[in-house]
Amino acid sequence: MNAVRYYSKSGNTKLLAEAIGKGAGVIPISVDEDSAKITENIDVLFIGGALYAYGLDKVMNEYLASIDGSKVKKAVVFSTSWISKHSIDLIKKALKEKGIDVVEDTCYVRNKPNEKQLKEAEKFAKRFV
C-alpha cells in the first residue's frame, strides 16, 4: 500500500501531489486532515511540502514529527519553492530521523507546475510503484 501526503498553502505543491497521486494510483491527502495520519504499513510514502521563509510550515513539521517510522518502508520526497531547494533537505532529514529509508531522487518544481511538469511528476511516481 502506498500513500501521498502533502502540505500546500497556495496550491502549487497540491498540484504536484495530485500528479504524483495519479502516477502512484492513490489519492493525496493534506497533512492537516485527520485522515492523513498513517495507521497502516506503507510501502512507499510520497511526501511533499514547500519552503516558507527558509523553513517548512509548522503544520508540516508537526506532521513529520508525528510519523511512526516503523510503519513506512520507503519515502519519496517532492517539493515546490521559489528558488531554494532547502525544503527537500528538511523533509528528508525529518524522515531519516524517524529511521525511514529515503530515496535520493526527488521531484521538484519551481512555484506552480505546468502541464509538462505535471506529466513528468506522474511518470516520476510510477517508477516507485
Ligand X SMILES: Cc1cc2nc3c(=O)[nH]c(=O)nc-3n(C[C@H](O)[C@H](O)[C@H](O)COP(=O)(O)O)c2cc1C
Contact positions toward ligand X, by CB under 6 A?
Answer: 8-14, 50-54, 80-84, 111
C-beta closer to ligand X: residue 39 or 83: 83
C-beta closer to ligand X: residue 15 or 42: 15
C-beta closer to ligand X: residue 7 or 124: 7
Closest of 51, 8, 54 to residue 31, by C-alpha: 8
Closest of 17, 22, 15, 19 to residue 5, by C-alpha: 17
**What whole-number distance in Å separates Cα of residue 92 and Cα of residue 78?**
10
What cell does 93 get? 532529514
Min dist CB 64 to ligand X, Å, is 16
Min dist CB 115 to ligand X, Å, is 16
Min dist CB 52 to ligand X, Å, is 4
Residue pair 46/20 in contact (Cβ under 8 Å)? The answer is yes
Instruction: Determine if residue 62 is left, alpha or beta; phi over 0 gives left, psi from -120 to 50 gives alpha, anything else beta.
Output: alpha
Min dist CB 65 to ligand X, Å, is 20
